[in-house]
Amino acid sequence: MNYEAIVIGVSSGGLNALKFLFSYLPENFRIPVIIVQHINRHSDSNWIKILNNLNSIHIKEADEKETIEPGKVYIAPPNYHLMIENDRTFSLTIDELVNFARPSIDVLFESAAEVYNNKLIGIVLTGSNSDGTKGLKRIKNHGGLTIAQDPATAESPQMPASAIASIQVDHILSLGGIKDLLIKIAGDID
């Protein structure tokens, strides 16, 4: 299967999880990655700088109407929901909080499922609420690949545990297992 995008949802404990994943992804990783990380709406972008120092994959905040490109990693800006439009550009909104969050993982996942269908990988990592469960279900219903971090390995197990309890997730893996699977999938595309 040639996957065209990866969406990742992460909350508490997220920076450590993302640092682990991005320190191991190969520099030639071509599948675009789009991330919602629950962060304070007044946060600066220092944590993005930390991730950018791990390897040469370019990590940036998503901009309104920006076209999604292979080999790039996009992160939802603080206090904006991030959605993907049919033309594979980003849309940012300040609509109401969803699951007590803006940005919301479900908002990203649900819009991505509508655009990418079975060519999408959805991943729920560490976090302390149920955001991402509904969106991961939508990805599954559209034929996409669904992955949840093994709650026993998550700093905050509630978010992946919620996804696992609610849907038949394709893979339940440690961060190391997720990293290995993503590298294998990317290698199969080349």
Asked about 142 being catalytic, the answer comes back as no
Q: Pull the structure tokens for residue 71.
A: 């080999």
Determine the Cα–Cα distance for residues 23 and 183; give it in Å rounded to an integer. 12
What's the chain's Rg over C-alpha atoms? Answer: 15
Active site residue 42: no
Q: What single DSSP character describes residue 140? A: H
Question: DSSP readout, 118-163?
Answer: GGEEEEE-S-SS-TTHHHHHHHHHTT-EEEEE-GGG-SS-HHHHHH
Of 12, 38, 106, 162, the active-site residue reads 38
Which of 131, 142, 156, 162 is catalytic? The answer is: 131
Is 38 part of the annotated catalytic residue set? yes
The residues assigned a catalytic role are: 11, 38, 131
